[in-house]
Amino acid sequence: MSVRVRRIYDPPESDDGLRVLVDRLWPRGLAKDAARIDEWPKGLTPSSELRTWYHGGGSYEEFRSRYEAELDAPQAAELLDGLRKSAREGRVTLLTASKKPEQSHATVLAGLLED
């Protein structure tokens, strides 16, 4: 299983495999054709309320816990299972506009996909 997290603003690489945008909002200043995404499962993204809370000064540990709870919802769980299946079949690159991908929901997703 091969999952990695990259910034959407980085140029696509030949070994990215399935490119999945995991942000709810389209990244600013990026043309859709330049992004070369394969999937955009908005149901896997943090809720607007959680995202606002986190960017308002919430801790990453609490964010992770709340986000994992959101991913237990039926629609999100189904999407997560589908992405997990894709990761078993080849590389999946999770794309985010976050300036700190290592402290973002994309990293939480990557960890859940590798479990």
Q: Crossing angle for the helix pair 105-114 and 60-70, nearest 10 degrees?
A: 60
Report the pLDDT averaged over residues 100-109: 94
The yes-or-no verdict on residue 111 having pLDDT over 70 is yes
Q: Name the 3-class secondary structure at 101.
A: helix
The yes-or-no verdict on residue 92 having pLDDT over 80 is yes
114 pLDDT tier (thresholds 50, 70, 90): confident
Q: Are 95 and 6 in contact (CB under 8 A)?
A: yes
Q: Where are the domains of the chain?
A: 2-114
pTM exceeds 0.85, yes or no: yes
What are 72's two structure tokens? Answer: 């237990």
Q: Are 92 and 113 in contact (CB under 8 A)?
A: yes
